[in-house]
Amino acid sequence: MNNELLFQQIQKKRSFLCVGLDTDIQRVPKNLLNAADPVLAFNRKIIDATADYTVAYKPNIAFYESLGWKGWHTLEKTVEYLKSKYPEIFLIADAKRGDIGNTSDLYARAFFEKLDFDAVTVAPYMGEDSVKPFMNYTEKWVVLLALTSNEGAADFQYLKNEESGDQLFESVLKTSQNWGTPENMMYVVGATKAEKLKEIRQIVPDHFLLVPGVGAQGGSLQEVAKNGMNSHCGLLVNSSRGIIYASGEKDFAKKAGEAAKAVQQEMELLLKEKGL
Amino acid sequence: MNNELLFQQIQKKRSFLCVGLDTDIQRVPKNLLNAADPVLAFNRKIIDATADYTVAYKPNIAFYESLGWKGWHTLEKTVEYLKSKYPEIFLIADAKRGDIGNTSDLYARAFFEKLDFDAVTVAPYMGEDSVKPFMNYTEKWVVLLALTSNEGAADFQYLKNEESGDQLFESVLKTSQNWGTPENMMYVVGATKAEKLKEIRQIVPDHFLLVPGVGAQGGSLQEVAKNGMNSHCGLLVNSSRGIIYASGEKDFAKKAGEAAKAVQQEMELLLKEKGL
């Protein structure tokens, strides 16, 4: 999917919400546990209930991988379901991969050929040749980790380079702009440091930013929009637990839909404020 | 597996070789392509032919993941084969994972519970809480990326911190020592910069180093041993393509065994020189 189509979806749905499909088998409501594939059954119902309010889904691969090959099978079936029923919705594999070139090639094959994701999150530590293989596919995207929302982000991401004065996450943003374009690259920017978003927007004015950490991790949507939105929105804000686990009972899908709608309505106002 | 047992294996086999099971379905010899699971059939024969000369195996997860859920099934069966037939051999999942704490928990579950690996390679970018969940398991190991062997290593790993004067990979080595011990943590150090190994040994005198990049990627085993070996060896040197693809014909297993034996013999001399 290209930039333009993604922006069209945002304008049409009045939303820049990404729903994280971090489906934990231990949190699937009891009434689904007799299904042949409880995680798939849960995902389908969550997707159907939230699709009107979201422009992207982001399965977190760890949740599927922790179930072994059966989990991968569930992931494949979830992607198939999404691509057949909601082909207009942007699909991000939250995988945080990254390895030497010939190995990244294979990760790209895993997520863009074997699975039909539109984007995959990639870790920058190993540099250019670990990232570029993911960009050899037309209309597929790398979502590169820049500033993450967890506590450990402080360990290395803020280290200041003696030559440029840039913090590591700033070096990542600046250097990686030579590897791709705003048409095939986005950045992960944690919402816990909303004031940082303003600085980041100056470095990458045109790129989409994938913002986790709104909700359970404590960021504010208003702050994110104020500091991060650009003329084509340029934001995908992720919420996982706040939506998919809005209820742990039989009514989980209905409640997830309501939670997604509430976020969408807030986003609609923010888009309107920006004249989008 | 603990440090002591690993060192015992090294002394017994006179080897610190790790064989990378980077099995590419496109390079599996024709005579195996009719097997129910050609990659598994290949792995079994490679393992049987090389087990006498190696103390560790390291499946590169990307190769399995690129085949979808069936690839994960093959990986599971490969691990089961190794653990039942060669329980004394150290098993490393080359996965380069790393995510926020609750997600790293799930990756740890994937590799240490669902699969019975002894160690997993982890990327440091997201800091402490992305790494520590892998160390909540007794006698399991994190192999943290420090200095990698690819060209892109130069993009960020050499950036010098203005406060400490440390390059990023040095900061990773120093900071991460507070997270674990030489009993549950190793480091990936590329062999393409053998002179760097000497510096790295001063920072982490006791930790095992996993050294890729000998062979196909161009490092020298002698240089690695000279600069990196400590009193309990402290090295695992990986070779993948040079061994598993020593021949692409019917004799692939025999040739792989010969290639592994040649490396082992070189290692035996290096251990002897060090008095081990």
> How many angstroms away from the CA of B274 is the closest CA of chain A?
32
Average pLDDT over residues B213-232: 83
| CATH number for the domain harbouring residue A129 | 3.20.20.70
Average pLDDT over residues B188-197: 83
pLDDT for A8 equals 97
Q: What is the mean pLDDT of chain A?
A: 95
Number of domains within chain A: 1
What confidence category does residue B191 fall into, taking pLDDT thresholds of 50, 70 and 90?
confident
Contacts of A72 (CB under 8 A, 6+ apart): A64, A65, B65, B68, B69, B72
pLDDT for A216 equals 55
Q: What is the ipTM metric for this complex?
A: 0.96
Count other C-beta atoms under 10 Å from residue B80's C-beta. 13
Specify the residue for token string 């399991």: B140
Q: Whole-angstrom Cα distance, residue A170 to residue A176?
A: 10
Q: pLDDT per residue over A112-155, tens digit each?
A: 999 999 999 999 999 999 999 999 999 999 999 999 989 999 99
**Does the structure show a pLDDT above 90 at A41?**
yes
Q: Whole-angstrom Cα distance, residue B81 to residue A79?
A: 31
> How many angstroms away from the CA of B134 is the closest CA of chain A?
13
Of the candidates A71, A86, A56, the residue with the CA atom closest to the CA atom of residue A24 = A71
What confidence category does residue A101 fall into, taking pLDDT thresholds of 50, 70 and 90?
very high
User: Is A114 a catalytic site residue?
Assistant: no
Interface of B with A in 145-174 (CB under 8 A): 145, 148-157, 159-163, 165, 168, 171-172
Instruction: Point out the catalytic residue in the list B96, B254, B261, B274.
Output: B96
Q: Whole-angstrom Cα distance, residue A225 to residue A267?
A: 9
Is A23's Cβ below 8 Å from some Cβ in B?
no
Q: Whole-angstrom Cα distance, residue A42 to residue A137?
A: 31
Nearest to A72 among B68, B100, B103 (CB): B68
pLDDT for B265 equals 96
**Does the structure show a pLDDT above 90 at B42?**
yes
Q: What is the mean pLDDT of chain B?
A: 95
Interface of A with B in 110-129 (CB under 8 A): 110, 113-115, 123-129
Nearest to B163 among A100, A151, A160 (CB): A160
pLDDT for B242 equals 93
Cross-chain Cβ contact A156/B163 below 8 Å: no
pLDDT for B195 equals 78
Q: pLDDT per residue over A215-239, tens digit each?
A: 655 568 999 999 999 999 999 999 9
For B241, name the nearest residue in chain A, comparing CA atoms only.
Answer: A102
Q: pLDDT per residue over B223-263, tens digit each?
A: 999 999 999 999 999 999 999 999 999 999 999 999 999 99
Residues facing residue B92 across a β-bridge:
B119
**Does the structure show a pLDDT above 80 at A253?**
yes
Cross-chain Cβ contact A68/B70 below 8 Å: no
pLDDT for A213 equals 74
Q: pLDDT per residue over B87-135, tens digit each?
A: 999 999 999 999 999 999 999 999 999 999 999 999 999 999 999 999 9
- Enclosing domain of residue B267: 3-273
**Does the structure show a pLDDT above 80 at B41?**
yes
Q: pLDDT per residue over A156-214, tens digit each?
A: 999 999 999 999 999 999 999 999 999 999 999 987 777 789 999 999 999 999 999 77
**Does the structure show a pLDDT above 90 at B217?**
no
User: Is-contact B263 B17, C-beta < 8 A?
Assistant: yes
Q: Whole-angstrom Cα distance, residue A96 to residue B166?
A: 26
Instruction: Point out the catalytic residue in the list A77, A83, A96, A254.
Output: A96
DSSP-derived 3-state class of residue A147: strand
- Judging contacts by C-beta atoms under 8 Å, the chain A residues touching residue B27 are none
The tokens describing A69, both together, are 């090959």
What percent of chain B shows pLDDT beyond 90? 94
CA A229, distance to chain mean position in Å, is 16
What percent of chain B shows pLDDT beyond 70? 98
- Judging contacts by C-beta atoms under 8 Å, the chain A residues touching residue B96 are 97-99, 123, 126
